[in-house]
Structure 1
Amino acid sequence: MGLHGYLQIIRPVNALVAGIAVLLGVLVAGVEVTPVMFLLVLSVFCITGAGNAVNDYCDRDIDAINRPDRPIPSGAVSMRGAAIYSAILFLAGIACAALVHPACFGIACLNSVLLVAYAARLKGVPLAGNLVVSYLAGSIFLFGGAAAGLDGLLLNLPLAGIVFLPMTAREILKDAEDIEGDREGGASTLPMITGVLASCRIAAVLAAGAVVLSLLPIVPWWDGWYLAMIALADLVILSAAASSVRCATSACVRDSGATKLLKTGMFAALAIFIFRALIG
């Protein structure tokens, strides 16, 4: 056991990207990015990392089959250590949010509860778990907008929607990849009910919906330059959908690289959103 395992279990890159993304919500809401706003970055980083640690704690048996290299099944982090670590991170994240705005505090509390509920219960509920994860991803922008109160939160709804759809698609594809381990662990996911092929087609429709939504004039910086840039990210997302849409087995989904492509497309879209928000 060592520090590397505790760093690995929180998925630091994903947690940091989520933390930085919250500043986009702040910019869209028209709030000045002051040093205080970086408390929101720290809050999202801590809560996201805590959620990842809790998820690994609850999925330790499944990960022993699907992801034996992860910190808990590999022995890098103990079960007790993961539980204590996640609790500390949750409390730190909620405390940081409370220092910014009551609305941010409320979202931080709600999201923390949902992260624990997802890991402990909702992941095994077909589609419900996928929707919770997708909400949590989209809520990062709502969290940043909440720094300006309700008005700022509403301004960020379009961005939250653009993130929600491809994230749901990715979550469904990830379940399709892990169907053997999930079945062994007693989980019940959408691909186990509808089959891998039908799930991949549902994911493709959701990804296509995200592309359509991203092209509509619902973002504050919608113009020709935005459309040219977002089209590049959209092509990656559509490529992910196309690569897996005919897959009927878990192995096919894994070999297609669709989940990685979707992640790349989503990160590219996020980078474009941040760039356009910064330049106005």
Structure 2
Amino acid sequence: MHGYVSITRPANSVVAGLAGVLGYLIATGTVTPESAALIGIVALVTAAGNVINDYCDAEIDAVNRPDRPIPAGKVSRRGALIYAALLFAAGNLLALTTNLSCLAIALFNSALLVLYATRLKGMPFVGNLAVAYLSASIFLFGGALAGPDGLAANLPVAGVTFLAMVAREVLKDAEDVEGDAAGGARTLPMVLGIPRTIALAFAFAAAAMVLSMLPVFRWWGLPYLLAIGLLNAAVLLGAAGVRGCTTPACIRSSRVTSTLKKGMFLSLLIFTAAAVLL
């Protein structure tokens, strides 16, 4: 059972579900009992996407991530495929309890997750954009539960998430060049080279940081600006070690993708505190 739990990346799936509730909170300023369904829907669909991705990436993970459940022999490929189908079905059935907009997003994102795992992942930059959209759309999904105005209220947060995720995804590809090449994938770092990929990632990360501070006076004021500004500075400082890297090993040792991931999680906490308190 441990393999079937870990293959879903449960922490990431649950955090994604909480981000859906945060989208609703940003839209309405409150959390209602019906919004709790967002956690289950987003967590199930996200978990399904993680499983189908591992199913399709079994050969690549055997090089890059041999400890993942499928190459480690904890989950069979056939078992993973059935498991992903069940998780997708459960998430979309639960989405029937929401509204038409939420259901449409859930169905579209489920299809995109499958398309990403089977086709888009190996397409330079296109796969990165798909993952970034999927992450950003969680906030749109939460806002959509409150109607069109709620969806529109989440556009800035979704924009920040999209830009930050593009930065992290291209850096993850740069970390995994050897395994991706062995698996036949063609990613952005293989086309641009690692130094240019790093420069592009920093450009997207900087754009995310600028956007995160633009709506401050309309939304949450000086306390939010100070908190998000300090976080942005800390992330930039923590990611500085990747500058000058020319090899995947150097990028991995810099832990830049981990820094960006932690920064995104902390930004969720800041968004939550600002939505509740300010």
TM-score by structure 2 length?
A: 0.97
Instruction: For 1:93 and 1:229, locate their aligned partners in 2 and report how far apart those are by CA, in whole Å.
Output: 34
Counterpart of 1:261? 259
Deviations 1:203-247 (A, max 9, x none): 011111111111112686331100111112212331344221321
Match of 1:25 among 10, 23, 33: 23
Deviations 1:65-114 (A, max 9, x none): 00000000001001111111111111111111221111000000010011
Deviations 1:105-146 (A, max 9, x none): 000001001101001000000000000000000001000000
Match of 1:131 among 129, 132, 138: 129
Number of residue pairs matched by the alignment: 278
Q: What amino acid sits opposite 1:275 in the alignment? A: A
Counterpart of 1:61? 59
Instruction: For 1:240 and 1:20, locate their aligned partners in 2 and report how far apart those are by CA, in whole Å.
Output: 26
Match of 1:223 among 204, 221, 224: 221
> How far 1:28 moved relative to its partner?
1.6
Matched-pair contact (CA < 8 Å) for 2:228–2:270 = yes
Query: Gaps (5+ residues) in structure 2?
Result: none
Counterpart of 1:40? 38
Match of 1:49 among 47, 50, 55: 47
**Is 1:186 aligned to 2:184, yes or no?**
yes
Distance 1:179 1:243, change over 3 A: same
Distance 1:219 1:118, change over 3 A: farther
Taking every aligned residue pair, what percent have the same amino acid on both sides?
54
Instruction: For 2:164 and 2:125, locate their aligned partners in 1 and report how far apart those are by CA, in whole Å.
Output: 14
Q: What amino acid sits opposite 2:245 in the alignment? A: C
Aligned-residue RMSD, C-alpha: 1.3
Counterpart of 1:70? 68
Counterpart of 1:11? 9
Counterpart of 1:82? 80
Counterpart of 1:103? 101
TM-score by structure 1 length?
A: 0.96
Matched-pair contact (CA < 8 Å) for 2:242–2:251 = yes
Matched-pair contact (CA < 8 Å) for 2:220–2:274 = no
Matched-pair contact (CA < 8 Å) for 2:52–2:117 = yes
DSSP 3-state at the match of 2:71? helix
Instruction: For 2:217 and 2:188, locate their aligned partners in 1 and report how far apart those are by CA, in whole Å.
Output: 32
Match of 2:271 among 266, 270, 273: 273
Instruction: For 1:11 and 1:219, locate their aligned partners in 2 and report how far apart those are by CA, in whole Å.
Output: 37
Q: What amino acid sits opposite 1:57 in the alignment? A: Y
Instruction: For 1:27 and 1:177, locate their aligned partners in 2 and report how far apart those are by CA, in whole Å.
Output: 35
**Is 1:246 aligned to 2:237, yes or no?**
no
Query: What does residue range 117-128 of structure 1 map to in structure 2 within 5 Å?
Result: 117-128=115-126
Query: Gaps (5+ residues) in structure 1?
Result: none
Counterpart of 1:214? 212
Name which of structure 1's ranges 151-160 and 215-224 shifts more when overlaid on structure 2.
215-224
Match of 1:158 among 140, 156, 159: 156
DSSP 3-state at the match of 2:246? coil
Matched-pair contact (CA < 8 Å) for 2:216–2:224 = no
Deviations 1:26-79 (A, max 9, x none): 012117422221111100000000000000000000000000000000010011
